[in-house]
């Protein structure tokens, strides 16, 4: 038992950290996200999910890393325009091949294959998947098979004409497929999940928070005109569970320092 504890402490000591790009957040998680980890960022509309993602990959660009932004809700042009208005101009990085933005149409039958091929290309140090919610609800069934062409352990079966809504086991297979691809990429990743203002959950699917290495919850309170950030878990990281006040301004998300 003592040997196991010493091994864990040794691994923790040498663990590489990836800076988040969010002012004040790295101080709460021992210097940044664990390298090659997957962090779920959940929140309601307006809570700051997209801004946190922009800050994360912009930090990567500034560090000379290759970054991938996969979007399912908006086309690339809309995402890039939104980022630029917030002060994050990714166009130079796109032109020199350092940044890739891709819109995934969830109505296409090969969306999983397209996504996994991009993720597993081995080109990226940081990945954002914004968001995982449509993928967990899309009308595709992933079935285990030994004779598939993509080598993923799954085949792609269209269920467009079947009943709407996914069963728990099918939805779990969707999430597992995505998470396994992201883990195999060895990139440091953020995935987002949409929540309603009144939700008390950590994700809409109720599964991804158990599979992710880290979980960050963003909450907006319109009546009090304030936002909060909570770190629910972060692999091999000592952190507070106390919700943190945040501000969104020209510098993106910033944790508010409380003065004594």
pLDDT digit string, tens, across residues 75-89: 999 999 999 999 999
pLDDT band with cut points at 50, 70 and 90 for residue 168:
low
Q: Are 197 and 220 in contact (CB under 8 A)?
A: yes
- pLDDT of 161 strictly over 60: no
pTM, full prediction: 0.83
Return the SS3 of 28.
helix
Domain extents for the chain? 34-219
Least confident of 16-30, 110-124, 235-249: 110-124
CA 127 – CA 141 distance, rounded (Å): 25
* Fold classification of 34-219 (topology level): Rossmann fold (3.40.50)
The predicted pLDDT at position 22 comes to 97
Q: What tokens were used for 231? A: 């770190």
């Amino acid at each position: 038992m003592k040997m196991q504890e010493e091994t864990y402490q040794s691994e923790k000591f040498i663990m590489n950290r990836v800076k988040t790009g969010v002012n004040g957040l790295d101080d709460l998680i021992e210097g940044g996200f664990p390298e090659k980890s997957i962090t779920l960022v959940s929140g309601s509309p307006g809570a700051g999910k997209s801004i946190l993602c922009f800050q994360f990959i912009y930090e990567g660009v500034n560090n000379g890393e290759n970054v991938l932004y996969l979007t399912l809700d908006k086309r690339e042009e809309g995402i890039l325009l939104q980022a630029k208005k917030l002060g994050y101009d990714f166009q130079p990085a796109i032109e020199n091949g350092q940044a890739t933005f891709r819109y995934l149409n969830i109505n296409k039958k090969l969306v999983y294959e397209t996504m996994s091929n991009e993720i597993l290309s081995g080109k990226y140090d940081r990945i954002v998947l914004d968001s995982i919610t449509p993928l967990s609800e899309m009308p595709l069934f992933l079935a285990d098979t030994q004779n598939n062409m993509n080598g993923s352990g799954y085949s792609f079966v269209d269920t467009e004409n079947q009943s709407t809504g996914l069963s728990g086991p099918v939805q779990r297979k969707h999430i597992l497929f995505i998470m396994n691809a992201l883990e195999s990429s060895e990139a440091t990743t953020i995935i987002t999940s949409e929540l309603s203002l009144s939700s008390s959950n950590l994700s809409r699917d109720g599964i991804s928070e158990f599979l992710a290495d880290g979980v960050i919850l963003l909450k907006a309170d319109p009546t009090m005109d304030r936002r909060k950030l909570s770190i629910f878990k972060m692999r091999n990281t000592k952190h507070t569970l106390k919700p943190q006040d945040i501000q969104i301004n020209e510098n993106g998300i910033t944790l508010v320092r409380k003065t004594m």
